[in-house]
Copies of this chain bind each other. A is one copy, B any other.
C-alpha cells in the first residue's frame, strides 16, 4: 500500500498515466501535453512507471529514433480507481475550495 501511495504521490505519475490512457504517446508529445513538467521530471516519472510495470517503453530504431510509451494491462487496470478519485475531486471541488478559503480567513 505504501508503495502504491508513493507512486501516486510522485505528483506527476498520475498525470502521465492519464495522458497515456487514450493512446500510446512519444516523449515530446507527453512533454507538450504536460505543460509544467520538465524534461528531467518526465524522464524520471516514465522510468518510475516503467519499473512498476504500469507502462511499456518501445524504441523504434528509426533515424532519428522514436520512443513510444504505452499503458500495460496493469496500468490500464489502475485507471479505474484513479477515475474514482477524479470523480470525487470534480464533485467536491467547490466544497474543497470553500473549506480552504474559510480556513485561511480564520487564520488571518
Contacts and interface: CB of A to CB of B under 8 A. Distances in A.
A82 B84 CA distance: 9
A5 interface: yes
Interface in A48-107: 50-53, 74, 77-78, 80-82, 84-90, 92, 95-96, 98-100, 102-104
A10 interface: yes
Interface of A: 1, 3-6, 8-11, 14-15, 50-53, 74, 77-78, 80-82, 84-90, 92, 95-96, 98-100, 102-104
Given A4-B88, A4-B96, A53-B95, 8 more contacts: A6-B11, A8-B9, A9-B9, A9-B10, A53-B96, A53-B100, A74-B99, A84-B84
